[in-house]
Amino acid sequence: MQPFSVLIVDDEELFLKAVSRDLLPLGVGVHSTTSAADALTLLEQYRPAVVLSDIRMPGMSGIDLLGEIKRVDPTTAVVMISGTAHATEAVTALKLGAFDYVEKPYTDAAELREVLAKAAAAALVERGTSASSPRLLGESAAMRRVRTAIDTVARTDATVLIVGESGTGKELAARAIHDRSRRATKPFVAVNCAAISESLLESELFGHERGAFTGAATSRRGLFEAAQGGTIFLDEIGHVSPGVQTSLLRVLQEREIRRVGASESTKVDVRVVAATNANLSRLITEGRFRLDLYYRLNVIELQLPPLRRREGDVLLIAEHLLHRFAKELGKQAVSFSAEAMHVLEAHRWPGNVRELENIVYRAVLGSSGRTVERIDLEREQTPLQALTDVPPLSTGNYSAQRRDLVQHFEQRYLELLLARTGGNLSQAARLSGIDRSNLRRMLREHGLRPMAVHSESERAS
């Protein structure tokens, strides 16, 4: 479910697991298989930007797989990996169209990530599309403003802070900025700062020298060096420790990094785009985030709207995802039923586009016909059936907080009621025990509406 993905092909399971782990800092989708023949099936299913393939494997060799990949999709970048004893075969692979060659076993995970990032960038440029465009869907006024802002920001080299709730597409916006900038042909390196332990993050970002700490048997370049000339995306920046914050401030001020254990600095030409769903102002007040770093990061702020504030976008995105997942899963589904569409429109989507993706994926997976029904969306107790996002309490004015909580409850209850009944007003009134006229009034007060009437009896009321 990432903007682009990498397919790893190698007959050693342990190697597949090791590479998958080393690619985590890139923040891309990773698929793997021990069979070159199976790789061709995965190629059609996921259309990865990059294939990392061993040269010598039982059955179909990596050289033969390269030829098939170039026949099926010439835009896919193929990086070969094999032992030094097979260097001649590696040269042959390069002549046949491989993007690059990496020795096995590799000793520098950051270098491998750099090679794959460059390969992905080349593939995406050749395909004539950005990695993020398919996911930045929406025709609401809010999304049109976001796209205009991205186009404007991309023409500069300024540091950008992307702010938005979880699941709104902050990494996708960062990729769009990169893809529209002068750095588009250079690496885009995504780092989830919250997913890397505090003790490892500094080494991952800035690299380390041999002997810098226990286990540092060799020197390693960090992700900033891997992104040289391109863009580094620092997601969940609010989780960064004070020590790493200090190092990031030096990078932004001096445009240089210092590897862990090094005595000298290295100049870097990297654009920084950071993102957060945390309240950085509160973290600053609590002394957990540096004010000077905040000002360095927030040269330009880009705010991504939550899905519930993007009028008309839910069904547009859902339809796009429906066709995409139906193709990937080999399903017949081509449309949503009227009740299913009402369920989608009535939900508040606290998890935003990521939640919508997960629910549509499960619905398509469980569908049995050409139409996705309401029951498909509600299967397996999905988040559509939960009341969520309750406002926090404080010791403020009692009456005001009580009023806000009651209004919030009514809003969420009515949304859930409409979702459960597919928007049928008569069923909703019976299920809730609320008089039809009162229920209609409450829906109108909360900006909700039942589905269009289904029968003569409904019209008569």
Q: Tell me which CATH code domain 308-386 carries.
A: 1.10.8.60
Q: For residue 236, which phi and psi values (nearest 5 degrees)?
A: 55, 50
Report the C-alpha gap between 244 and 210 in whole angstroms. Answer: 20
Q: What φ, ψ does residue 335 adopt, rounded to 5°?
A: -160, 165
Q: With a cut of 70, say whether residue 456 has pLDDT above it.
A: no
Indicate the range of 266-275, 374-383, 448-457 predicted with least confidence: 448-457
Q: pLDDT per residue over 257-308, tens digit each?
A: 888 877 788 899 999 999 999 889 999 999 999 999 999 999 999 999 999 8
Closest listed residue to residue 434, CA positions, set 448, 419, 413: 413
Task: Give counts: helices (H), strands (E), the chain.
Answer: 20, 14
Please tell me the total number of residues recorded for the chain in this structure: 461
Per-residue pLDDT tens for 195-253? 787 778 888 898 888 777 766 677 788 899 888 999 999 999 999 999 899 999 999 99
Residue 63: count of CB within 10 angstroms of its CB: 19
CATH (residue range 5-123)? 3.40.50.2300
Per-residue burial over 216-246, b = 16 or more CB atoms within 10 Å of its CB, e = otherwise: eeebbbbbbbbbbebbbbbbbbbbbeeebbe
C-beta separation of 356 from 349 below 8 A: yes
Residue 80 and residue 92 in contact, taking contact as beta carbons nearer than 8 Å: no
Q: What fold does the segment set 395-461 form as a domain?
A: Arc Repressor Mutant, subunit A (1.10.10)
**What does the pLDDT look like over 38-70, one tens digit per residue?**
898 888 777 788 999 999 888 888 899 998 898
Please choose, from the candidates 270, 276, 113, the residue with its C-alpha nearest in 3D space to the C-alpha of residue 194. Answer: 276
- The C-alpha angle 179, 124, 314, rounded to 5 degrees, equals 70
User: Do the beta carbons of residue 352 and residue 168 sit within 8 Å?
Assistant: yes
Which residues have a Cβ under 8 Å from the Cβ of 61 and sit 6 or more positions away? 36, 55
Domain spans of the chain, in order of start: 5-123, 133-305, 308-386, 395-461
Residues in CB range of 427: below 8 A, 6 or more apart: 421
Token digits of residue 416? 């859930």
Spatial separation of the C-alpha atoms in residues 102 and 78, rounded to whole Å? 11
If one looks up domain 133-305 in CATH, what number appears? 3.40.50.300
Cα distances from 395 to residues 90, 391, 392, 426, in angstroms, run 68, 13, 10, 40
> What digits encode the pLDDT tens for the residues 90-142?
788 888 888 888 888 888 888 888 888 888 877 776 665 433 344 577 888 89
List the 188-192 sheet strands across, edge first. 188-192, 231-235, 271-276, 160-163, 300-303
Evaluate whether 5-123 and 133-305 have a shared fold.
Answer: yes
Backbone angles phi, psi at 52, to 5 degrees: -105, 110
Average pLDDT (162-175) is: 92
Least confident segment among 153-162, 173-182, 315-324, 417-426: 417-426
- What is the average pLDDT across 404-413? 75
Among 59, 16, 14, 9, smallest CA distance to 39 is for 9
